[in-house]
Amino acid sequence: MDGEMSFFMDTQVVRIDPDNLDHGALKRAGALIKAGGLVVFPTETVYGLGANGLDAGAVKRIFKAKGRPSDNPLILHISRAEDLDRLVAEVPTTASMLMERFWPGPLTLVLKKSPLVPDAVTAGLDTVAVRMPSHPVAMNMIYYAGVPVAAPSANISGKPSPTRTSHVVYDLMGRVDMIIDGGDVDVGLESTVAEVTGGGVIILRPGGITLEQIGEVAGEVFIDPAISNNNAMDIPRSPGMKYTHYSPDAEVIVIDGILDRVVIRIQQMAEELESQGKMVGIMATDQTRALYKRGTVISVGDRERPRTIAANLFAVLREFDGIGVDVILAESMDQSGVGLAVMNRLLKSAGYNIVRA
């Protein structure tokens, strides 16, 4: 497993049914990780690209396989709460309460790290991100690996995170040792990342566990100002490409405002873009899909059930790329509950390109 990694690796694809676990295959995947290999595995949020989190060499191969900048730290995944102790310097009471309530599940805690954690994982920070996923395939594979599993989302850096096996195969076939096909994921957006170092809780990335849910346990919760940029809806076009992330090949434009006006504005924009010869995709919702008369219309889910939108968002962005549209016009979503995470990802995929209806 040492030496220069070529991108023409022999990638095994192994199907594991989450409802009928193949423990032999899970043990093989765990052993591969422990030995320094790269294994893509399903979690309840998105697919992860896993390696032995205590092996700096293996961790560096993750960055290479997805083309990720080395200054972006990774999450360590564990299968039992007690595995946390040797990875962190201390566990604040608030962190224990959050773990008690939300682990296993889509909550990542950023805590002061212990010396055991390699710098390659934390990008040299003095904190480490840890999470215990609830997906049975992830849990068992991590357990059999016997080491914390470092895993970013299993996409090529900058692309939408993978929520279906086909996404992973498209991005990483030939770049990893094994891909576990565990079917479609559940949440569809990455975990909530919360820093719990001083007294309080700061949300660094909104996700499947909502601000409201964390507030119920922790009392006061702060949001990283970088995320509150989501509220800068009145800025028509915002800064640069350095914020671009989760990006399909097509240009994404988010149209914000009262829903009736959003629909009208999208119709107008679609007409204008088509007259310029552009192929237009419209990211609609179940409530609005029938109202559009132009472009390729795909519903991302039901506005009354924002979790359906979270589950479909990345898949729909990738679907538009498969169709080959030039521009995706996306309706903005309500930001309460999981909507905060949905809008965070959507605005990033658009490079904060927002138009007010």
Among Mg ion, ligand TXA, none, what binds residue 213 when CB lies within 5 to 8 Å by partner kind?
Answer: none
CB of 294 to ligand TXA, least distance (A): 35
From the list 255, 251, 250, the residue with the least C-alpha distance to 267 is: 255
Exactly one of 14, 81, 125, 223 binds ligand TXA (CB under 6 A); that residue is: 125
Q: In the bound complex, what is the minimum distance in angstroms from residue 198's beta carbon to ligand TXA?
A: 14
Between 126 and 260, name the residue whose CB sits nearer to ligand TXA.
Answer: 126
Q: List the one residue from 16, 30, 43, 83 that touches ligand TXA (CB under 6 A).
A: 43
Give least dist CB 68 to Mg ion, A: 8
* Window contacting Mg ion (CB under 5 A); options: 148-156, 177-185, 195-203, 293-301: 148-156
Q: Pick from 328, 314, 330, 347: which is nearest to 255 by CA?
A: 330
Rank residues 45 and 94 by Cβ distance to ligand TXA and give the closer one: 45
Site for ligand TXA in 59-88 (CB under 6 A): 72-75
Tokens linked to 206: 């909104």
Cβ proximity to ligand TXA: between 38 and 46 the closer is 46
Cα–Cα distance between 341 and 235 in angstroms, integer?
Answer: 19
Residue 130 found at the interface with ligand TXA (CB under 6 A): no
Site for ligand TXA in 202-241 (CB under 6 A): 204-205
79, 94, 108, 349: which one binds ligand TXA (CB under 6 A): 108
**Distance of closest approach, residue 9 Cβ to Mg ion, in angstroms:** 21
Interacting span for ligand TXA (CB under 6 A) from 40-48, 227-235, 236-244, 249-257 = 40-48
Start-end of H helices in 178-258: 211-218, 225-228
Positive or negative, the CA dihedral 109, 113, 116, 117 is positive
Alpha helix positions (H), 23-92? 23-34, 56-66
In terms of Cα–Cα distance, which of 73, 72, 45 is closest to 242? 72
In the 8-state DSSP scheme, what is residue 291?
A: G
**Measured from the CB atom, is 130 or 355 closer to ligand TXA?**
130
Strand 75-77 and strand 149-150: the pairing is: antiparallel
Length of the chain: 357
110 binds ligand TXA (CB under 6 A): yes
Nearer of residues 42 and 281 to ligand TXA, judged by Cβ: 42
Spatial strand order in the sheet of 107-112: 12-15, 178-181, 39-41, 48-52, 149-150, 75-77, 127-131, 107-112, 192-195, 201-205, 221-223
142 lines the binding site for ligand TXA (CB under 6 A): no
Query: Residue from 43, 79, 153, 288 that binds Mg ion (CB under 5 A)?
Result: 153
Name the amino acid, one letter, at 104. Answer: P
Angle, alpha carbons 64-67-69 (nearest 5°) = 95
The three-class DSSP label of residue 121 is: helix
Residues forming contacts to Mg ion in the complex (CB under 5 A) are: 153
Residues forming contacts to ligand TXA in the complex (CB under 6 A) are: 43, 45-46, 48, 72-75, 106, 108, 110, 122, 125, 127-129, 131, 133, 151-153, 190-191, 193, 204-205
